[in-house]
Structure 1
Amino acid sequence: MKTTGTPMEGKTIVQVASSVFHSLALASDGTVYAWGSNGDGPLGNGTNTNSNVPVAVKTTGTPMDGKTITQVAAGGTHSLALASDGTMYAWGDGSKGQLGNGTNTNSSIPVVVDASDPSIAGKTVTQISSGMYSSFALASDGTMYIWGENNSNSPVAVPTTGTPMDGKRIVQVVHNLAHLLALADDGTMYAWGENSSGQLGNGTNTNSNVPVAVKTTGTPLDDKTIIQVIAGASYSLALASDGTIYSWGGNGKGQLGNGTAINSTIPVAVSLTGNSALAPSTPKVTIGGVPATDVTIVDSNTITVKVPAHANGLVDVTVDLGNGDPLYKAVKTNAFRYGPAPATPGSGGAGSANGGNGQHYRRSRPGGTLANTGDNLTILLFTAGVLIAGALTLIIGVRLRRDWQA
Structure 2
Amino acid sequence: MFSTGKNYLKLIRGARILHLDSRKSIPQKPELKTLPIFQYPVSQEDTRRVYVWGLADHGAIGEATALYKDKISYLLKPKRLSFAERYKVTDIACGYGFTVYAVQSSDKNIVYGTGINTDSQLGFNEIDKKKFPDNMVFAPRPINLPLKENTTTKVIGMAAGRAHLLILTMEGLFTLGNNAYGQCGRPIIANENYEKSRVVHHIPNIKGSKITAVAAGQDHSILLTEVGEVYAFGWGADGQTGLAHYRNEHRPSLVKGDLAGQHIIKVACIADCVLALSDKGKVYGWGNSEYGQLSVKGDSCQVYIATELNLPEEIGHITDIATGGCFCMILNSAGNIYVWGYGILGLGPQVQKILKPTMIPPTLFGNNVYNRDIKVTKIYCGISQLAALTNSGDLYMWGGNKFGSLGLGHRNDQFFPLRVAVGAQVKKVACGVDHTVTLCKPFI
* Fold match (TM-score > 0.5): yes
Q: What is the rounded CA distance, in whole Å, between the counterparts of 1:57 and 1:136 in structure 2?
A: 22
The answer to which of 163-172 and 125-134 deviates more is: 163-172
Q: How far is 1:383 from its partner?
A: 4.8
Is the aligned partner of 1:222 residue 2:349? Answer: no
Contact 1:76 1:133 in 2 (8 A): yes
How many residues were matched structurally?
A: 281
What residue number does 1:180 align with?
A: 274
Q: What is the rounded CA distance, in whole Å, between the counterparts of 1:326 and 1:270 in structure 2?
A: 9
Is the aligned partner of 1:134 residue 2:193? Answer: no
Match for residue 257 of structure 1 among 322, 347, 364: 347
The answer to which of 74-83 and 260-269 deviates more is: 260-269
Match for residue 308 of structure 2 among 213, 222, 228: 213
Q: How far is 1:97 from its partner?
A: 1.0
Q: How far is 1:229 from its partner?
A: 0.7
What residue number does 1:375 align with?
A: none
Contact 2:275 2:284 in 1 (8 A): yes
Q: What is the rounded CA distance, in whole Å, between the counterparts of 1:121 and 1:111 in structure 2?
A: 20
What residue number does 1:80 align with?
A: 166
For the structure 1 residues 64 and 92, does the alpha-carbon distance in structure 2 shift closer, same or farther, using more than 3 Å as the test?
A: farther
Contact 1:114 1:155 in 2 (8 A): no
For the structure 1 residues 206 and 256, does the alpha-carbon distance in structure 2 shift closer, same or farther, using more than 3 Å as the test?
A: farther
Q: What is the rounded CA distance, in whole Å, between the counterparts of 1:130 and 1:54 in structure 2?
A: 21
For the structure 1 residues 121 and 198, does the alpha-carbon distance in structure 2 shift closer, same or farther, using more than 3 Å as the test?
A: same
What letter is aligned with 2:100? L
Q: What is the rounded CA distance, in whole Å, between the counterparts of 2:392 and 2:319 in structure 1?
A: 22
Contact 2:64 2:138 in 1 (8 A): no
1:221-370 superposed matches below 5 A: 222-251=314-343, 254-257=344-347, 260-273=350-363, 276-278=364-366, 280=368, 282=370, 300=392
Post-superposition Cα deviations, 1:330-380, rounded to whole Å, max 9, x if no partner, equal xxxxxxxxxxxxxxxxxxxxxxxxxxxxxxxxxxxxxxxxxxxxxxxxxxx
For structure 2, the 5+ residue unaligned runs are: 1-61, 66-80, 128-134, 237-247, 372-390, 394-415, 427-444
What letter is aligned with 1:112? H
Contact 2:328 2:340 in 1 (8 A): yes
Match for residue 112 of structure 1 among 201, 205, 215: 201
Q: What is the rounded CA distance, in whole Å, between the counterparts of 1:72 and 1:98 in structure 2?
A: 14
For the structure 1 residues 78 and 188, does the alpha-carbon distance in structure 2 shift closer, same or farther, using more than 3 Å as the test?
A: same
Q: What is the rounded CA distance, in whole Å, between the counterparts of 2:326 and 2:148 in structure 1?
A: 33
Contact 1:143 1:169 in 2 (8 A): yes
The SS at the match of 1:222 is helix
What letter is aligned with 1:25? Y
What residue number does 2:180 align with?
A: 95
Answer 1 or 2: higher relative contact order, Cα 8 Å, separation at least 6.
Answer: 2
For the structure 1 residues 327 and 9, does the alpha-carbon distance in structure 2 shift closer, same or farther, using more than 3 Å as the test?
A: closer
Q: How far is 1:263 from its partner?
A: 1.6
Contact 1:100 1:148 in 2 (8 A): yes
What letter is aligned with 2:103? A
Q: What is the rounded CA distance, in whole Å, between the counterparts of 2:64 and 2:103 in structure 1?
A: 13
Q: How far is 1:174 from its partner?
A: 1.0
What letter is aligned with 2:325? A
Contact 1:92 1:109 in 2 (8 A): no
Post-superposition Cα deviations, 1:183-206, rounded to whole Å, max 9, x if no partner, equal 011100001001111122336562
For the structure 1 residues 78 and 176, does the alpha-carbon distance in structure 2 shift closer, same or farther, using more than 3 Å as the test?
A: same
Contact 2:365 2:417 in 1 (8 A): no
Contact 2:217 2:269 in 1 (8 A): yes
What residue number does 1:377 align with?
A: none
What residue number does 1:27 align with?
A: 103
Q: What is the rounded CA distance, in whole Å, between the counterparts of 1:23 and 1:3 in structure 2?
A: 14
Is the aligned partner of 1:18 residue 2:94? Answer: yes
For the structure 1 residues 190 and 9, does the alpha-carbon distance in structure 2 shift closer, same or farther, using more than 3 Å as the test?
A: same
CA RMSD after TM alignment = 3.3
Match for residue 251 of structure 2 among 126, 149, 154: 154
What letter is aligned with 1:147? F
Contact 1:201 1:248 in 2 (8 A): no
Q: What is the rounded CA distance, in whole Å, between the counterparts of 2:261 and 2:286 in structure 1?
A: 17
Q: What is the rounded CA distance, in whole Å, between the counterparts of 1:95 and 1:326 in structure 2?
A: 38
What residue number does 1:55 align with?
A: 141
Structure with the larger helix share:
2
Post-superposition Cα deviations, 1:82-136, rounded to whole Å, max 9, x if no partner, equal 1113x111111111111112234437445224468xxx32111100111111111
Relative to the length of structure 1, the TM-score reads 0.61
Q: What is the rounded CA distance, in whole Å, between the counterparts of 1:241 and 1:98 in structure 2?
A: 34
What letter is aligned with 1:16? I
Q: How far is 1:213 from its partner?
A: 1.6
Q: What is the rounded CA distance, in whole Å, between the counterparts of 1:10 and 1:169 in structure 2?
A: 39
Q: How far is 1:223 from its partner?
A: 4.9
Q: What is the rounded CA distance, in whole Å, between the counterparts of 1:196 and 1:205 in structure 2?
A: 8
What residue number does 1:336 align with?
A: none
Relative to the length of structure 2, the TM-score reads 0.56
For structure 1, the 5+ residue unaligned runs are: 284-298, 302-324, 329-381, 389-406
Q: What is the rounded CA distance, in whole Å, between the counterparts of 2:283 and 2:207 in structure 1?
A: 26
Contact 2:339 2:360 in 1 (8 A): yes
